[in-house]
Amino acid sequence: MIFHSLKITEGMFERVIDLTEKSNLIYSKKNSTGKTTLIRFFLYSLAYPVPSTKNIRFEKCITEVNLTCSMGKITVLRNDEYLEVSLENGCKENFVLPTDQNLFHAKIYGTQNNDLLNNILGVFYVDQEKGWTLLNRGIIIGKIRFNIEQLVRGLSDRSCDDLTKDLRSVKQQLNKYKQMFNISQYQQELNEAENNIVFDTKDEEEQKLLEILNSEITSLEAELKRVNTVIAENNSFKNFIERMKIAVKGSNGESIPVNRDTIIGFDFSVEFLLAKRKMISSKISSLKSKAEKYERSLEGQLQLFKTETLIESFDRNISKIEVDQLSVSNMISSLEKEKNRLNKQITFLTKYNNDVVTSIHKTVMKYAKELDFEQFITPSSDYIFTDDLKSLSGTILHKIVFAFKLAYIIEVQKKINMTLPIILDSPSGREITKENVKAMIDILNRDFSDNQIIIASIFQYDIDEVNVIEIKDRLINELRQQ
């Protein structure tokens, strides 16, 4: 892949950067002039979600990059999430980011291998902030990550997609169970605290009892209303009969007036209804007394909740969660075993009898001898997967990272049958000497003369056929022609 030019447009201003197929040095006499921004614009123009730099928001700019890749010579115009690719034959292809990012990268790099595509940026680009400490796994830039195991699987066509999917699922479950276990431990601490949290749900129980009481009161009040209605109707009936002055004939022919005294059982019926009304009223009174007691209690708890702190509220809510600590602990143990089993299987499939691993290690050893850090590299090819970076000084780590990158580039180029650019942001680290930088540049001149080199720095280097792109004040400084 070769970048030919990059046009950046920001509002009324623009700048066109022309590059050669060989070496290009983005140079300024002082820092903070836009060298890193320009480097990131190259990546941004290739659809990578790189973070903006100070004072320039990439999504507000339009980039137009001309490059040669596996699609041939193309022009890629990026306007925020929209990507338009113009081919040499005049055809155009459109992509929408981030959905089509992998599809676009598959076309320009000429491979459908996602393990390769996901890691290829970390192969040829070294960021000034994190790149010179990124050896074999970690963040390249923004949220874009690099993982050597995945890269090696991609280079050797050893897919572990199903296993990695299972591993991801197990890790997610494990994380959830660990959170549950932490909650159970916190509950235990609350239980053991001197001022123990009340774990019952008194307020809820009282609320339920209050609802039951109110329901009974409502039912009894309806019954009382019915009894009162019957009593009232009885009195009305009695008055009606007396007003009618009705009389009946007795057995001896005498006249007997019909009233409450002569109707058999009338007084008994009335007395029964009065007694029932008294009983219902008494029961309603008793229930209301109990209900008021619960209402006062609930009101008191409500006031308490209003004055409690967030921590007290959190503790009270946590205390209500039912967690079986033993079951959770057993589940964590089981998932840990499954995670280890999957990791071992993935590791075995990645490393065992893999020529790619051997080849990367051999290249690293070659440059280790030339850059004089051979003693820090173990003879075993497994070293390329090392996670022991703490024992390495700044200068040694800087040179090892450089050697690893070159080894990655060689292997990826063999796989995709295309040269990659080598983009280095600030190769002269704080502790790296001029002699070491010169040795690194000599390697690039000698072994990577077919690769396009793009370096950003405040230093000049002895690079073959170098094209110097100087940034004097501001990166985007030309008024756009209408």
Q: How far is CA 446 from CA 5, 258, 426, 459, in A?
A: 25, 135, 20, 20
Position 69 scores a pLDDT of 97
Count Cβ atoms below 10 Å from residue 388 Cβ, excluding itself.
10
Give 31-78 as a DSSP string. SSSSHHHHHHHHHHHTT--PPPBTTB-GGGSEEEEEEEETTEEEEEEE
Indicate the fold that domain 2-160+360-479 takes in CATH. Answer: Rossmann fold (3.40.50)
Residues 413 and 390: their CA atoms lie apart, in Å, by 31
Q: Is the peptide bond before 379 cis (omega within 30 degrees of 0)?
A: no
- Encode pLDDT of 271-307 as tens digits: 888 899 999 999 999 999 999 988 888 887 776 666 6
Share of the chain above pLDDT 90, in %: 58
- Encode pLDDT of 330-377 as tens digits: 999 999 999 999 999 999 999 888 999 999 999 999 999 999 999 999
Structure tokens at 377: 């590299």
Residue spans per domain, the chain:
2-160+360-479, 180-241+272-329
More confident call, 336 vs 393:
336
Contacts of 259 (CB under 8 A, 6+ apart): 238, 241, 242
Q: Which amino acid is at 198?
A: V
Choose among 477, 409, 481, 474: nearest CA to 53. 474
Residues 377 and 403: their CA atoms lie apart, in Å, by 11
Mean pLDDT of the chain: 88
pLDDT-based confidence at residue 159 (cuts at 50, 70, 90) = confident
Position 442 scores a pLDDT of 92
Position 195 scores a pLDDT of 55
Position 481 scores a pLDDT of 61
pLDDT of residue 482 exceeding 60: no
Contacts of 398 (CB under 8 A, 6+ apart): 132, 429, 431, 432, 436
Position 300 scores a pLDDT of 76
Across residues 257-279, what is the average pLDDT?
A: 83
- Encode pLDDT of 106-122 as tens digits: 999 999 999 999 999 99
Residues 435 and 370: their CA atoms lie apart, in Å, by 12
Contacts of 143 (CB under 8 A, 6+ apart): 49
Share of the chain above pLDDT 70, in %: 94
**CB contact at 8 A, 171 and 148:** no
What would the 3-class secondary structure string for 346-402 be?
HHHHHHCCCHHHHHHHHHHHHHHHHCCCHHHCCCCHHHHHCCCCCCCCHHHHHHHHH
Position 282 scores a pLDDT of 92
Q: Which amino acid is at 456?
A: A
pLDDT of residue 191 exceeding 90: no
Beta-sheet strands, E only, within 191-268: 247-249, 255-257
pLDDT of residue 198 exceeding 80: no
**CB contact at 8 A, 15 and 445:** no
More confident call, 481 vs 431:
431
Across residues 5-25, what is the average pLDDT?
A: 93
Position 196 scores a pLDDT of 52
**CB contact at 8 A, 450 and 419:** yes
pLDDT-based confidence at residue 60 (cuts at 50, 70, 90) = very high
Q: How many CA atoms lie within 13 A of 418 on its CB side?
A: 17
Q: How far is CA 88 from CA 2, 16, 85, in A?
A: 15, 20, 10
pLDDT-based confidence at residue 465 (cuts at 50, 70, 90) = confident
Position 418 scores a pLDDT of 96
Structure tokens at 107: 């076309």
pLDDT of residue 258 exceeding 90: no
Structure tokens at 468: 């110097």
Position 478 scores a pLDDT of 67
Choose among 72, 107, 64: nearest CA to 88. 72
Contacts of 293 (CB under 8 A, 6+ apart): none
Distance of CA 76 to the CA centre of its chain: 30
Position 130 scores a pLDDT of 79
Position 369 scores a pLDDT of 95
DSSP assigned state of 131:
G
pTM of the model: 0.71
pLDDT of residue 412 exceeding 90: yes
- Encode pLDDT of 139-156 as tens digits: 999 999 999 999 999 999
pLDDT-based confidence at residue 480 (cuts at 50, 70, 90) = low
